[in-house]
Amino acid sequence: MRSKTTLKDIANEVGVSITIVSGVLNGHPVRVSEEKREEIVRVAKERKYLPNRIARSLVSRRSKTFGLIIPSIESRTYTSYTKNLEGLCQKEGFGLFIANTNDRLERDLATMAQLVERGVDGIFFVPSNESYESKELIYVLEDLPVPYVMVNRYLVNYRCDRVYFDNERGGYEATKLLLDNGHTKICCVANTSGSNTGRARFRGYVEALENHGLILRPEYLIESSYTMLGGYEAGEKVLKTDTTAIVAGSDYIALGLRRALQKRGRRVPEDYSLVSFDQSESDFLVDPPATTVIQNMSELARRSFELMNRRLAGEQGDPIEIVLDVCIRLGDTVRPLS
């Protein structure tokens, strides 16, 4: 029996991307020459191509499914976002395909093509950190035949529908809290080289210092992955500085830091004040409870879902950016300096 023709088969024969093939066959506007457009239609007819999901929804022109692309299924942040988004989808009768990219650009591109071939109505997209300056990804996004919403991250010099937290404000407020408590020697432990979220938080940290007449001391910026091991290794470096306070770029970094400090007989907040991000369930297992910058994942899911539905309903216009506030939950990890 002859195998069923897929979008990929047609794309390979014509020499274009899967997203362009899908757009042409579904009547969506895509950037392609008329000659290629006609060739795509001809090859599809010759191969008797009929997308299974579109075949089941010829009347409604909808598959009632969305795609979600996230960089890590191990991330507490994106696990929480996924759970909230899935609940909204189920409530409105939508299915949700979830794709994990392991924070790799090549997986961004591959999973996007796979979701388009599945016939999803729209895509929620958290780009990998590798894609930060990717022109190739921008070309793919511009040719997508379905609406998409970028979530909590961004690409350099590219505007699109996007919902995200004000991470720069979060970094600023975390640092200002320590400054207001008399600390001037403040370390920032974050992933500023491989994460645009980390870079935004770092910018807020620097702005708060400058607004208080201070300059960044190079030894006070300590790079760390968003893991407890990364935080632990960063803690060893913190101990070699004269800092009295730390802004930790995530809850996992903070947990690793606290373990490293504890192993060396140092205490929080008696020896080091600490403010972190992204409250974790693990925070409740340590004492004292952490002072943390909170991001409301339920709100992130709700606002991105609403924006997607506005586009599905036919709303046109310039890209929409929705910036969500962050807030600080006061714990017991900040000590005022006398």
Does residue 233 lie within any of the structural domains?
yes
**Sequential DSSP letters for 7-22:** HHHHHHHHTS-HHHHH
d(CA 249, CA 97): 29
- What pLDDT, on the 0 to 100 scale, is given for residue 226? 86
Task: Tell me the mean pLDDT in the region 313-335.
Answer: 94
Looking at residue 287, the DSSP 8-state letter turns out to be S
Does residue 212 lie within any of the structural domains?
yes
Lowest mean pLDDT, pick from 72-81, 122-131, 170-179, 210-219: 72-81
User: What band does 260 get if pLDDT is binned at 50, 70 and 90?
Assistant: very high
CATH number, position 196: 3.40.50.2300
Phi, psi for residue 264 in degrees, rounded to 5 = -95, 10
Does residue 287 lie within any of the structural domains?
yes
170-196 residue pLDDT tens: 999 999 999 999 999 999 999 998 888
Q: How many domains does the chain fold into?
A: 2
User: Domain limits at 250?
Assistant: 167-295
pTM score > 0.75 for this model? yes
Q: Please choose, from the candidates 78, 118, 83, 135, the residue with its C-alpha nearest in 3D space to the C-alpha of residue 101.
A: 78
Does residue 45 lie within any of the structural domains?
yes
135-173 residue pLDDT tens: 889 988 988 889 999 999 989 889 999 999 999 999 999
Task: Tell me the mean pLDDT in the region 280-295.
Answer: 79
Does residue 303 lie within any of the structural domains?
no
CATH number, position 14: 1.10.260.40
Query: Using CA of residue 113, residue 115, residue 121, residue 127, what is the dihedral sign?
Result: negative
Does residue 121 lie within any of the structural domains?
no
CB-CB contact of 289 with 129 (8 Å): no
